Amino acid sequence: MKTRILEGVLLAVILMSFMIVLTMAQAPSEPHKADAMWVEPSSDTFVNGMPNATVGQKFNVTVWLNMTEDIYGWQVKMRFNATQLNVTRAGLTAGGASMYFSGHVTTTAPAAIDNTLGTVLVFESCQGFTDFIPGPHGDSLFWAEFAIHAAPTMGNFASKLDISTEYGTTSRANTWVIASDGLTQLAFNPYDGNYLFIGPSGPPPLLVSISPSSASVSVNQTLLFTSTVTGGTSPYNYQWFLNGTAVLGATSGSWSFNQTSTANNYNVYLNVTDSLGVTVNSNIASVTVVMRLLGDVNGDGKVDGNDIIAAARAFASIAGGPRWNPDADLNGDGRVDGRDLIIIARNFGKGFSL
């Protein structure tokens, strides 16, 4: 009675183990033509979601073989990127043998996993001089469980499960199939597996522009610069530069330029740094400052009715719009309105020789 109970327990254990093994190797979903070895799935994408491209995430692959000729044995050396992936375990698809060699007495070796070099080596052959696997025949050889070792923190990386690099029909090859004579290496087509691991999407690139891109103003005339910032990761830090030198206190998204004494040409740009430390300079704006009386819209050296007429023609216009005259924007606020006419009125009658 005890013997029967023990036999029943052992049979149950064997059946359970067999069922576990079968879950590792399913029917081929991507069959190939004869004389081929391939990895299934041949491609997959791991994203943030289902499944997650995170450290520790696992997935299984199976290597299949389809040969027209009789074979005696095989060996596969699969290469992988060990900085991205590790093999946690691997084995033949029918437990002690592959499904390809199922029903035959085989010689095997434990799967040799090297997570430093990024390789896994698996071998199987028949035993004796008379046994072989008749062709044509196709079935699974072995399975391997991979774990994501270094998930992308941003962007993505591609990884290959490579069985083709080590393939050959010479004695130096590490991936091969031996004919029924136990000597001849048979030719076949190896197909690698290609996998894409997508991490969190990075922010769009940091872009900065300022306006106006060019202007001509008079001494003592104010010119307002504004900025447009897109991409990167907010909040942003701002610093305006005049002729390559940081302007003290000019640390917001806009800045008012005012040259009180010297007519000259000036370059202005804005440096923006986002919260991740990415720093970008804007386009360089050119400013020409001329010796012109405040209120002298037409630049003839005096403030009179002609300047009122010139300003009136641009009245109610904005920068870049129809009728825009930057010389009539005397306070540099990007529009021509009553404030600019007041400046003309307060300086009416002034003049000097240019």
pLDDT at 201 (0 to 100): 64
Count of domains for the chain: 3
Q: What gap in Å lies between CA 45 and CA 156, rounded to an integer? A: 10
Residue where one domain finishes, among candidates 198, 219, 250? 198
Dig out the tokens for 188 from the structure. 């076949």
Indicate whether 21 belongs to any domain: no
257 and 131 in a common domain: no
Whether the model pTM is above 0.75: no
326 and 281 in a common domain: no
The residue range of the domain holding 209 is: 203-291
Residue where one domain finishes, among candidates 291, 320, 341? 291
Indicate whether 9 belongs to any domain: no
143 and 84 in a common domain: yes
Q: For the chain, which ranges sit under pLDDT 50? A: 2-3, 5-25, 49-50, 353-354
163 and 266 in a common domain: no
Chain segment 108-145, per-residue pLDDT in tens: 999 999 999 999 999 999 999 899 999 999 999 999 99
140 and 58 in a common domain: yes
Q: What gap in Å lies between CA 189 and CA 169, rounded to an integer? A: 11
Greatest alpha-carbon pair distance for the chain in Å reads: 127
Chain segment 46-96, per-residue pLDDT in tens: 765 445 567 888 899 999 999 999 999 999 999 999 988 999 999 999 999
- Cβ 122 vs Cβ 48: under 8 Å: no
Query: The CATH number of the domain where 226 resides is what?
Result: 2.60.40.10
140 and 119 in a common domain: yes
Indicate whether 106 belongs to any domain: yes
166 and 312 in a common domain: no
